[in-house]
Chains A and B, each alone.
Chain A
Amino acid sequence: MSPDLAFLAEVVVGGLLSGVMYALVAIGFVLIYKTSGVLNFAQGAMVLFAALTFVSLTERGLPFAAALAATLAVMVVVGLGVERLVLRPLVNQPPITLFMATLGVAYVIEGAAQLAWGTQVHGLDLGIDDTPIDLGGVLVSRFDLFAAAVAGLMVALLSAFFRYTRTGLAFRAVADDPLAALNTGLRLPRIWSAVWIAAGIVALVAGLLWGARLGVQFSLSLVVLKALPVLVLGGFDSIAGAIVAGLIVGAVEKLSEVYLGPVIGGGIEGWIAYVAALGFLLVRPSGLFGLRAVERV
């Protein structure tokens, strides 16, 4: 393979894998949005909180598995807490109010995380050696592959959960028509609690992977800002959409950074995803997979 082509392939593959990481965060959003119509801006803060808790526990000597279990427990508590204290009182409010409430929650969680564990940067070692693998002349990051595998596993588990378990079926029912779900006896509050716990777990997985990649620091909570263009493109309520859109956003971002960046100026990855998503939206206002709402007058 010619060096230019190999380089292009590397950039694309790197972008796709990075996109998988975005999709990972986006899936947490989709879970909550699908079942309760809330766009949980605090998802990023939850990622940070999970990563910080885990890292701080391991640094204090806890073995990996114990730290993982403890962090899981903490995230469950956080998820339940947010659902019960913030979202349930606001249950009939318009979506935009709920969104602003999650902004507040994000601030609270971010502040609490750093108050509790401090503001220094921590390194997170998941035991994956990040030497690149050579696939036919294309260098691919071993860590990225691992992350992609984890993400794939999680999506597979979630899909199976939605399709084959009763709770999963209940999630889908509530997402489809909350009123009808209520009518069939589904306990909405219980389902919402379960959804938020699931989102907490997704945040934990994302937190560990992202933390290992970027280091655990405050800017981790800004990973949510990467997920938004993914959501916009893939539709806020589609897991498949989140994955496809994540791949697209990741690839576009990496390609722009490498090929467009030198022309326009460095650092465009901060906004290129947004502009790309915006451009796409203007053509298809409800994204790739999003359900177009029919307005009943």
Chain B
Amino acid sequence: MQPALRPVRLGPEGRRPLPRSAARPAALPVAGGSPHRDRAGLVLSIEGLSLAFGGTVAFAEIDLAVGAGEIHAVIGPNGAGKSSLINAVTGLYAPQAGRVRIGAEAFARVPAGRLAALGVARTFQNLALFAGLSVRDNVLSGLAAARRAGLGAQILGLPAARREALAHRDAAEAVIGRLGLGAVADRPAGRLPYGLQKRVELGRALVARPRLLLLDEPMAGMTATEKAEMTGFIRAARETSGAAIVLIEHDIGVVMRLSDRVTVLDHGRRIATGTPAQVQADPAVIAAYLGLADEDADAEAA
């Protein structure tokens, strides 16, 4: 079922790759269920995905499954391969092995240009807004895939085109309202403060009502208040559209509060999957990662 992995020449940082037994999660009695769930009802299923850049492994043999309405966090230290995973799932990188299933369709390499049509939307770690467009236009551009009217119809203002434009505008306004962006809707997105820009990106991802939402560090660089607001928005997104949400996040507090399930990556390998509580108690995870989280918690308490 899973294609064989091409031999990995060199692990990250020049170390030999981890022996498979240490990485195999089935050895750990995780009560939250294995990642290999019943295929039906899954919005996203990553099966044995592996990616290497030349000799450097980004991640290897990743399994992940997310169902509708589930908020699934992916955490891990820097360099664990989280962003690369999202990039591979959204078709920006071509994995060497494995499959990505989105709904009913399976891909060896996800076609980036079809993502919107497949009902997938994402935000980016380093912000990928359209700086020259207004906030409203940025959000509207999230509906680019849903546009049916041709150029001629748009320019001439034919009724079908006008109806569509109106419907899209309403959808955008709704999202802008929900995210509290009304005051800046006409400003060029490139001139906004960082926190608002992150929100605009979220709005652009939400407006098309995706069934799969991939958020790459949506709260990076935010204050505690902004994080609380974002958490609210993400939860609300799940409520209104029932989307499956994959969330890369460093703030463990947010992860614990927000997510239904958590997958932990370390050095490109999946080392645990389960509910936040399970993962928090997992010895492998604690060894690899959660030591840092305690410092974070102390810093937050201080």
Do A and B make up one complex?
A: yes
Q: Which B residues touch A294, using CB under 8 A?
A: 53
A297 at interface (Cβ–Cβ under 8 A)?
Answer: yes
Within 8 A of A (CB), among B14-32: none
Query: Does residue B234 face the partner (Cβ distance < 8 Å to A)?
Result: no
- State whether the Cβ of B154 lies closer than 8 Å to any Cβ in chain A: no
Expressed in whole angstroms, the Cα–Cα distance for A27 and B12 within the complex equals 38
Stretch at the interface among B120-128, B193-201, B270-278: B120-128
Say yes or no: is B263 at the interface (Cβ < 8 Å to chain A).
no
Chain B contact residue count (CB 8 A cutoff): 8
Which positions 125-139 of chain B face chain A at CB distance < 8 Å? 125-126, 128
B83 surroundings in chain A (CB, below 8 A) = 297
* Smallest CB-CB A-B distances: 9 pairs: A297-B87, A297-B92, A297-B124, A297-B126, A297-B128, A296-B126, A297-B125, A297-B83, A294-B53
User: From B83, which residue of chain A is reached at the shortest CB distance?
Assistant: A297
Binding site for A on B (CB under 8 A): 53, 83, 87, 92, 124-126, 128
CB distance from A169 to the nearest CB of B (A): 26
Q: Is the interface of A mostly helix, strand, loop or mixed?
A: loop
- Residues of A in contact (CB 8 Å), total 3
- Near B by CB (< 8 A), chain A positions 272-297 give 294, 296-297
Bound Cα distance A133, B124 (Å): 64
The answer for the CA separation of A297 and B126 in the assembled complex, in Å, is 7
A106 to B128, CA, bound (A): 35
* Closest A residue to B124 using CB positions: A297
Docked CA distance A294–B128 (Å): 16
Q: How far apart are A92's CB and chain B's nearest CB, in angstroms?
A: 14
Complex-state Cα separation, A296 to B127, whole angstroms: 11
User: Considering only CB atoms, which chain A residue lies closest to B122 in the complex?
Assistant: A297
Smallest Cβ distance from B7 to chain A, in angstroms? 23
What are 9 pairs between A and B in contact, CB < 8 Å? A294-B53, A296-B126, A297-B83, A297-B87, A297-B92, A297-B124, A297-B125, A297-B126, A297-B128
User: Nearest-CB distance from A134 to chain B (Å)?
Assistant: 51
Shortest Cβ distance from B94 into chain A, in angstroms?
13
B118 CB to nearest A CB, Å:
19
Chain A contacts of B87 at CB under 8 A? 297
How distant is B78 from chain A, measured CB to nearest CB, in Å?
14
Measured between alpha carbons, how far is A297 from B92 in the docked complex, in Å?
9
- Bound Cα distance from A294 to B53, whole angstroms: 11
**Residue of chain B at shortest CB distance from A296:** B126
CA of A296 to CA of B83, assembled, Å: 10
